[in-house]
Structure 1
Amino acid sequence: MKKIVMCTLVLLLTGMFLGGCATKETAEADLAQIVGDIEAQQLLPEGMEDLNAADLEKLYNIKSSEYSQFAGKINNVGILGDEVVLVEAADKAAVETIKGKMEQRYQSKLNQMDGYIPEEYEKIKNGNVLVEGNYVALLVAENQDKVNEIFKAGVFGER
């Protein structure tokens, strides 16, 4: 009897543990819409430009074969650190590749601003590279938490 109770307890705890580890599934996200939502809440400075495929390859070294869609806003003015770039990787293997390239870009931005403009350096330092499913984002903005929240809501279909 004692063994049955113990086995039942172990199975119950295992089930609770595995259930608690379940991950949320990402939805089919419209990355341009997510960037639009960030803009609509005025979380980016005026004058930011749309990211195009040439910029994505030049600034991030991300090739068209590595993604299925992307959207973003970049600031071509050297005194501002804001940048929002969202990429849907073509497959699971491309996720890590794109993440690495985004992290290189992030580090480059951080190094460029170090000792230049302290406020912008802090903004970049508070930025991040996020991965949710096949979606990878480089997010640097004044209201970092809100931008992160909009990105996550968009890729999980919670908009």
Structure 2
Amino acid sequence: MKKTFTTVLAVILAIGAVLSGCGKQAAAEVDVSAVAQALQSGLTFQDEMNEIAESRLGDFYPTIDASTLNGFKMYKGASGATAEEIAVFQAKDAASVKEIETAIQTRLEDLKLQFEDYVPAEVKKITDAVTETSGNVVVLVVADDAAAAQKIVDEQLR
């Protein structure tokens, strides 16, 4: 009886290890460019969305060190009259994920301050922004349709 219990327990633990390993591997294989592109093409934006080069990361996220990233893709409204933004980060480690999440919260607070007097209607987009973390991937989407953005993010980060 003990031998059967031990065997069953070993099998259950092995299956659990395989399944948890698969989840970690999937998060590591996320292509940040593909996620950002899916969001850009799958959502409707008021503004033309321009790609932001990694060299300009500090202009928008000054506390994120590019050396802590395995990948980065960002699009921002070209005119500056909207708060529309897509930012997808792939961190090298869990500590960097926390820094990115903090930087995104700071970015959203800054955007609120910028737009509350300039274009108050944009504040709702900022307040409803989609922020999602899956493994070492962190996504921010500021768009009119937060529900549609969340759906695309969920599909991309599966």
Category of TM-score, reference length = shorter chain: 0.7 to 0.9
The aligned residue for residue 23 of structure 2 is 25
Per the alignment, do residues 117 and 127 of structure 1 end up closer, same or farther by CA in structure 2, a change over 3 Å counting? same
In structure 1, distance between residues paired with 2:83 and 2:101:
19
The aligned residue for residue 124 of structure 2 is 122
Of the three residues 145, 148, 155, the one matched with 1:146 is 148
Percent identity among equivalent residues?
23
Unpaired runs of at least 5, structure 2: 1-15
The aligned residue for residue 77 of structure 1 is 79
Deviation at 1:138, TM superposition (A): 1.7
TM-score (norm 2): 0.76
Deviation at 1:46, TM superposition (A): 4.3
The aligned residue for residue 106 of structure 1 is 108
Identify, as 1 or 2, the structure richer in helix.
2
The aligned residue for residue 57 of structure 1 is 58
- Residues 84 and 143, structure 2, Cα contact 8 Å, conserved in 1: yes
Equivalent pairs, count: 136
In structure 2, distance between residues paired with 1:44 and 1:112:
19
In structure 2, distance between residues paired with 1:153 and 1:25:
15
Moved over 4 A (4+): none
In structure 1, distance between residues paired with 2:40 and 2:85:
12
Deviations 1:108-133 (A, max 9, x none): 00111113322211111111432221
Deviations 1:45-83 (A, max 9, x none): 342111211221221022221110011211242220110
- Residues 47 and 77, structure 2, Cα contact 8 Å, conserved in 1: no
CA RMSD of aligned residues (A): 2.2
In structure 2, distance between residues paired with 1:75 and 1:89:
24
Per the alignment, do residues 111 and 34 of structure 1 end up closer, same or farther by CA in structure 2, a change over 3 Å counting? same
In structure 2, distance between residues paired with 1:29 and 1:38:
14
Per the alignment, do residues 42 and 129 of structure 1 end up closer, same or farther by CA in structure 2, a change over 3 Å counting? closer
Q: Which amino acid aligns with 1:106?
A: L
Q: Which amino acid aligns with 1:54?
A: S
Match of 1:39, SS state, is helix
In structure 2, distance between residues paired with 1:36 and 1:84:
9
TM-score (norm 1): 0.76
Unpaired runs of at least 5, structure 1: 1-18
